[in-house]
């Protein structure tokens, strides 16, 4: 488990991070969200020990993060880059050795990955001979080659075509199942909905919200239900459990959207409705992550 405790980072008078605490657990994907310039990259660099926090600490598996733990971390920064003039195989081995692997370990692991991705022929190619997508793939391999237990991925899908997005996604899920702690920073809310078990949202250097994705959806969603019913007239039902925010004709039915009061659910709402109309469908309107993001960020 990775914990950031009250992390603050100041650059001169500017606060890039203000008392941010997060917890990312093993076997889960932790989404780190926030608008550009919110402080995500600074937090990621602090976890990576590239920058040292002005205050607060980073704890991994119960121990203060230290230089010996770099082998545990796999980091894919948002701005990708490899030595252009270096050969792919040579380069990947170099990066793995810097993580602490021996030459032979690195070679063995790398061969397996090249076989797995079907790119053995790239070994002796220079990076400048590869396309952008190919280089991204190599970079992903160098990020995970040393079997890190903490994976920090900043926009891992950018630059990939849909087929490769799928491949990378499956690799991330596989590593999650193997018990890795995965931190995913992205602006792509679809992948957040799809992959993240927990999320934290940072805005203006401060932690706005954090917790399991489902909980946050419920908490910050508008909590509405959609009811389709057979009737020619609008709903007239008055209830303490909901208020009607919309009522309209919908094909040969009518459609109403209800704002549900806190604590109320189908058990309370349905009986009230059934008193007056014949219900064709009842559905909770789950808010999209995108909307929550925009709502939370623009609130400030």
Partner 1 sequence: MNFNKIGIILGREFSVRVKKKSFILTTILTPILMAALFIVPTVLMVVGGKDTEKVMVQDNSGIVAPYLESSSTAEYIIAPEGSTLEQLKADFNNLDVYALVGISELDSSNNVQAVAYSAEPLNVDIKSDISRKVNKAVETMKLSLYNITDLDRILEEVRSDVQITTLTLTEKGEKEESTEIYMALSYIMSFLIYMFIFMFGNMVMRGVIEEKSGRIVEVIVSSVKSVELMIGKILGVALVAITQFLIWVVLTLILVMVAGFLLGGDLVGTMESAEVAGMGSILKGISEVRFGYVITCFLIYFVLGYLLYAGMFAAVGAAVDNEADTGQLSIPITVPLILGLFLMIPTFQNPTGQLAFWSSIIPFTSPMVMMARIPFGVVPFWELALSIILLLATALLMAVISAKIYKVGILTYGKKASFKDLWKWIKTKN
Residues that bind partner 1 (CB under 8 A): 11-12, 45, 48-52, 67, 70, 73, 75, 77, 79-86, 94-95, 97-99, 139, 142
- Residue where the block lists tokens 């549900």: 260
Instruction: Give the residue with the Cβ less far from partner 1, 70 or 244.
Output: 70
Instruction: Give the residue with the Cβ less far from partner 1, 45 or 254.
Output: 45
Instruction: Give the residue with the Cβ less far from partner 1, 75 or 157.
Output: 75
Who's near 209: CB < 8 A, 6+ residues apart? Answer: 199, 200, 201, 216, 220, 296
CB of 101 to partner 1, least distance (A): 10
120: which DSSP letter?
G
Q: By the 8 A CB rule, do 238 and 227 touch? A: no
Instruction: Give the residue with the Cβ less far from partner 1, 85 or 275.
Output: 85
Instruction: Give the residue with the Cβ less far from partner 1, 51 or 290.
Output: 51
CB of 45 to partner 1, least distance (A): 7
CB of 94 to partner 1, least distance (A): 5
CB of 83 to partner 1, least distance (A): 6
125: which DSSP letter?
S
Q: By the 8 A CB rule, do 33 and 24 touch? A: no
Instruction: Give the residue with the Cβ less far from partner 1, 97 or 147.
Output: 97
Q: By the 8 A CB rule, do 205 and 18 touch? A: yes
Closest to 34 (Cα-Cα) out of 44, 24, 25: 44
CB of 15 to partner 1, least distance (A): 15
Q: How many other C-beta atoms can be found within 10 angstroms of the C-beta atom of residue 50? A: 12
What does the DSSP assignment read for 127-176?
GGGS-HHHHHHHHHHHHHTT--SEEEEESTTTT--HHHHHHHHHHHHHHH
Q: By the 8 A CB rule, do 84 and 132 touch? A: no
Who's near 115: CB < 8 A, 6+ residues apart? Answer: none
CB of 34 to partner 1, least distance (A): 19
Closest to 60 (Cα-Cα) out of 28, 93, 24: 24
- d(CA 31, CA 196) in angstroms, rounded, equals 5
Instruction: Give the residue with the Cβ less far from partner 1, 52 or 163.
Output: 52
- Strands, E, within 89-158: which ranges? 150-154
CB of 100 to partner 1, least distance (A): 8
């Amino acid at each position: 488990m990775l914990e950031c405790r009250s992390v603050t980072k100041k650059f001169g008078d500017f606060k890039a991070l203000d008392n941010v605490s997060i917890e990312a657990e093993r076997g889960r994907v932790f989404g780190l969200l926030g608008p550009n310039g919110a402080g995500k990259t600074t937090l990621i660099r602090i976890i990576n020990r590239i920058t040292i926090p002005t205050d607060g600490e980073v704890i991994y598996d119960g121990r203060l993060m230290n230089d010996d733990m770099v082998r545990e971390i796999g980091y894919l920064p948002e701005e990708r880059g490899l030595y252009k003039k270096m050969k792919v195989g040579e380069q990947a081995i170099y990066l793995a050795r810097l993580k602490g692997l021996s030459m032979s370990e690195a070679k063995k692991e790398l061969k397996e990955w090249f076989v797995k991705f079907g790119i053995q022929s790239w070994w002796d190619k220079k990076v400048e001979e590869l396309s952008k997508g190919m280089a991204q793939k190599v970079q992903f391999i160098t990020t995970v080659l040393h079997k890190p237990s903490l994976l920090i991925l900043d926009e891992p899908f950018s630059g990939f075509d849909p087929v490769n997005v799928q491949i990378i996604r499956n690799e991330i899920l596989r590593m999650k199942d193997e018990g890795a702690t995965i931190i995913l920073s992205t602006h792509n809310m679809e992948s957040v909905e799809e992959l993240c078990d927990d999320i934290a949202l940072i805005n203006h250097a401060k932690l706005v919200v954090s917790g399991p994705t489902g909980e946050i959806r419920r908490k910050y969603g508008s909590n509405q239900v959609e009811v389709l019913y057979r009737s020619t007239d609008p709903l007239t039902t008055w209830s303490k459990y909901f208020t009607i925010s919309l009522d309209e004709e919908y094909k040969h039915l009518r459609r109403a959207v209800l704002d549900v009061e806190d604590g109320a659910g189908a058990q309370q709402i349905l009986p009230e409705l059934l008193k007056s109309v014949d219900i064709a469908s009842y559905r909770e309107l789950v808010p999209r992550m995108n909307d929550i993001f925009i709502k939370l960020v623009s609130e400030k």
